[in-house]
Amino acid sequence: MPDTALSIRGLVIRYGAVEAVRGVDLDVPQGHVVALLGANGAGKTSTLRAISGLSPVAAGSISYEGRDITHLDAEKVTRLGIAQSPEGRQVFADLTVEENLRTGAFTVRSKAQVASSFDRCYRYFPRLAERRSQLAYTLSGGELQMLAIARALMASPRLLLLDEPSLGLAPLVVQDIFRILAEIRAEGTTVLIVEQNALQTLKIADYAYVLATGRNHLEGPAADLIQDHALVEAYLGSGGKHPEKNTKETP
């Protein structure tokens, strides 16, 4: 078994009276892609934000490469080698593609490393290379999503957190994004990915956890879960565009 990169035990997150996450456990082994799936409101985004230091943790623990990061702020978490590509493509609309990418490298001191990160991002996303001088607000939805992922990669993270990279994108663009995720995986980056698009995600993941109403609901090797068609239909949604299938309660 590879070493564990990230380990979460008994995670609890509250927003006032709302208990969004109610004791989640999960492990991400080094070099693996782990998927975090489940219906809207299951607590996936809250869990990712807690890892990144963006949501306060009410109880439980998060450790990364053996170090307790439960209460570290976002900047310290980034410096440890964790980068998050947020849901909703929160890029800087009035900065160019290149300027946005540079903001992702704020923890990187070596100019040579920044240059090689630019090369890597432009290799993954040739569309961004073509548009490097364009202001971000002029990009399409798919290009914005690529920019958000590329910006996270600029920090050369050892653990990449992705929140809904395919949300709202046309099928061809979704295919493009998943092809690039497969390449990122092949280069050995450890990935924790939150997605509604379960089938595509299970194809690139090693292991998956399904959350329901803030708790671990089920888990297993992605190759096993993908075989269970009833489960994929009932709990995971078949393509991310079927919210009615994503609202089923835990039995």
Cβ-proximal residues to 198 (8 Å cutoff; 6+ apart), any chain: 35, 37, 232, 236, 237, 238, 240
How many residues belong to the chain? 251
Q: With beta carbons less than 8 A apart as the criterion, state whether 62 and 70 touch.
A: yes
Bridge partners, residue 26, by sequence = 8
Q: Which of residues 220-249 bind ligand ATP (CB under 6 A)?
A: none
- Residue 161, interface with ligand ATP (CB under 6 A)? no
Contact 205, 37 (CB under 8 A): no
Closest separation between CB of residue 240 and ligand ATP, Å?
10
20 is a contact residue toward ligand ATP (CB under 6 A): yes
Query: Is residue 43 a contact point for ligand ATP (CB under 6 A)?
Result: yes
Give the bridge partners for 35, in sequence order: 193, 208
Determine, following the binding rule CB under 6 A, whether residue 42 of this chain makes contact with ligand ATP: yes
Q: Which of 2, 10, 40, 93 binds ligand ATP (CB under 6 A)?
A: 40
Asked if 18 is part of the footprint of ligand ATP (rule: CB under 6 A), the reply reads yes
Position 41 contacts ligand ATP (CB under 6 A): yes
- Residue number with CB closer to ligand ATP (41 or 168): 41
| Chain-centroid distance, C-alpha 9 | 19
What is the smallest separation between the CB atom of 39 and ligand ATP, expressed in angstroms?
7
Among 22, 44, 89, 185, interactor with ligand ATP by CB under 6 A? 44
Stretch that binds ligand ATP, among 12-20, 67-75, 122-130, 148-156 (CB under 6 A): 12-20
Whichever of 20 and 105 has its CB closer to ligand ATP, that residue is 20
Q: Does 46 bind ligand ATP (CB under 6 A)?
A: yes
Among 38, 53, 157, 240, binds ligand ATP (CB under 6 A): 38
* 230, amino acid identity: A
| 7 burial level (CB within 10 Å; 0-12, 13-18, 19+) | middle
Tokens standing for residue 20: 């969004």
Stretch that binds ligand ATP, among 38-46, 185-193, 222-230, 234-242 (CB under 6 A): 38-46
Q: Does 45 bind ligand ATP (CB under 6 A)?
A: yes
Asked if 57 contacts 47 with a C-beta cutoff of 8 angstroms, the reply is no
- Distances in whole angstroms, Cα of residue 190 to Cα of each of 160, 199, 200: 6, 20, 18
Give the residues lining the site for ligand ATP (CB under 6 A).
15, 18, 20, 38, 40-46
